[in-house]
Amino acid sequence: MLRSLLSTSLLFCLAVTASAEPSANLQSAAEIGLSDGTAAPEIAAFTSDGAPASLASIAGENGTVLVFFRSADWCPFCKKQLVDLESAVAPLKAAGWSLAAISYDSAETLSEFKARSNLSYTLISDEDSSVIRDFSLFNEGSKEGSRFYGIPHPAIVFIGKDGRIKETLSEEGYKDRPPAELVISTAQGLN
């Protein structure tokens, strides 16, 4: 009886936990995002300080590393990734690449996180998730009306100076993110 009660309680806890977060990915990493060689969609969004953001305004000499993340407000995996990526800014710049990160967070939320975390790279607010959708990274596993609706599948997209997607790094689950070292080596390998 006790074993049955514990098993039922455990299943209930797992079900509640699973429903509190959007499903990891309904698609495999290979099915997420645009194909390499595809022209990157234009960005029409705002930076964390409220300035208009476009591919041209954030591009480095060789291109842009654009990080799609779920939220700097509530996602601990994203927060860790964003802080980790600060160590990639100088090596990427030396290789001619800029670094920017985008989510559905408001510009105010991103501004506060950027200041609190001492980040030097651009954070972009895509509150209506239009850029996220244009890059085919919209997470369909989140229910409309939930706080998670509008999040992207986490991905790092390398956009060359020609405006084409050179490579995309993504993971099967939302907890694992490519480390800064892999981001740096990927960009250097694309030069």
Any domain includes 45: yes
Read off the pLDDT of residues 156-181 as tens digits, 9 standing for 90 and up: 999 999 999 999 998 777 888 999 99
Q: How far apart are CA 77 and CA 82, in angstroms?
A: 9
Any domain includes 14: no
Any domain includes 5: no
| Strands 52-53 and 63-68, sheet pairing | unpaired
Q: Would you say 167 and 190 are in contact if contact means Cβ atoms under 8 Å apart?
A: yes
Segments forming the whole domain that contains residue 131: 22-190
Which parts of the chain sit beneath pLDDT 70? 1-31
Any domain includes 86: yes
What CATH number corresponds to the domain at position 182? Answer: 3.40.30.10
Question: How many other C-beta atoms are found inside a 10 Å radius of the C-beta of residue 171?
Answer: 18
Q: How far apart are CA 191 and CA 112, in angstroms?
A: 34
Any domain includes 16: no
Total domains, the chain: 1
pTM above 0.85, yes or no: no
Any domain includes 72: yes
Instruction: Please name the residue that has the structure tokens 């936990």.
Output: 17
Quickly list DSSP for 69-130. Answer: -S-TTT-HHHHHHHHHHGGGHHHHHHTTEEEEEEESS-HHHHHHHHHHHT--SEEEE-TT-H
**Which residue, among 46, 113, 45, 107, has the nearest Cα to 80 in the 3D structure?**
113
Read off the pLDDT of residues 72-93 as tens digits, 9 standing for 90 and up: 999 999 999 999 999 999 999 9
Residue 9 has which token pair?
A: 């309680």
Helix and strand numbers, DSSP H then E, in the chain:
7, 7
